[in-house]
Amino acid sequence: MSCKRFVGKNVLITGAASGIGKATAERLAGEGANLLLADLNEDGVAVVAETLAKAHGVTTRGIAFDAGQAASCRQMVGGAVEIFDGRLDALCNIAGIMDWGPFDTFGEERWDRMMRINLNSLFHINQAALPSLIESKGNIVNMASASGLMGIAYTTAYCVAKAGVIAMTKSLAVEFAAKGVRINAVAPGGVKTPMNGSVPLPDGVDMGLLQRLWPKLGDLCEADEIAAGVAYLACNEARNITGTVLVIDGGQTAG
């Protein structure tokens, strides 16, 4: 890694056991960050934390939490701030799930689960973390999606949750700018992670409706390309950027 923009910085990353969260942890550890890595997958995140500490000589800890439970989100942030001796410089909200299916048979349980994990968790985590971020003049990067910027058939719950993440990002950016806290989002298109393919295409879908999802540049993104965007927004080079949504989608949403 050529640049070391996070030396001495304390960063909390959720969803760090896999995919984009793990790639972000790798990127930031390579740039010198001390990391608190939080995930539902306790064993997975512990392995990532241990591996990165050894590889980069930074301080890391894995911590278990369930983004679908308010109390767990708030306790996790409290624990992270304590482990960091009260100083939190950046928060990357990356944990999330995918679920899709025809709207007419999409059950309320699935809708609620999507909102709890992909949207409500950010209400709890961001609210709990903001006092520390105000003290450090820190920043938040929320993981949105191109799905929050366009209509996608069979994907209403996910699209609504990610559109909510974008609205929360912009609203908090306005509310907390005067307190010195930046809040941004990254909106990836398709990324090669375990999430992609984790939920099979529903039976009987009209593939024609999904055509426009394909990136115009031709290929899905790698997780480390998204991590590079998160790292940029979270570092001081982006000190004049707040309320932005960095779209990394190969042109999927361009037209």
Ligand X SMILES: NC(=O)c1ccc[n+]([C@@H]2O[C@H](COP(=O)([O-])OP(=O)(O)OC[C@H]3O[C@@H](n4cnc5c(N)ncnc54)[C@H](O)[C@@H]3O)[C@@H](O)[C@H]2O)c1
Residues at the contact surface with ligand X, assessed by CB under 6 A: 15, 17-21, 39-41, 65-68, 94-97, 117, 143, 145, 188, 190-191, 193-196
Shortest distance in whole angstroms from residue 39 CB to ligand X: 5
Q: Which is nearer to ligand X, 19 or 138 (CB)?
A: 19
Question: Are 231 and 4 spatial neighbours (Cβ–Cβ below 8 Å)?
Answer: no
Q: Which is nearer to ligand X, 136 or 244 (CB)?
A: 244
> Catalytic pick from 91, 158, 190, 253?
158
In the complex, what is the shortest distance from the CB of residue 40 to ligand X, in angstroms, rounded to a whole number?
4
Task: CB nearer to ligand X: give 136 or 195.
Answer: 195
Which phi-psi region, left, alpha or beta, contains residue 250 (left: φ > 0; alpha: ψ -120 to 50)? left
DSSP string of 77-138, one letter each residue: HHHHHHHTTT---EEEE---------GGG--HHHHHHHHIIIIIHHHHHHHHHHHHHHHHT-
Which of 3/50 has CB closer to ligand X?
50
CB of 99 to ligand X, least distance (A): 10
> How far lies 28's CA from each of 45, 204, 231, 248, 250, in Å?
15, 42, 7, 19, 23
Q: How far is the CB of 59 from ligand X (least distance, A)?
A: 21
Is 134 or 199 the residue whose CB approaches ligand X more closely?
Answer: 199
- Nearest distance from residue 154's CB to ligand X, in Å? 15
φ and ψ at residue 93, rounded to 5 degrees: -90, 95
Q: Tell me the C-alpha distance between 149 and 247, whole Å.
A: 9
Residue 166 tokens, joined:
């974008």
Letter string b/e over residues 9-23, b meaning 16 or more CB atoms within 10 A of that residue's CB: bbbbbbbbbbbbbbb
Tell me whether residue 232 is one of the annotated catalytic residues. Answer: no
Tokens of 71: 């109390």
Catalytic residues: 158
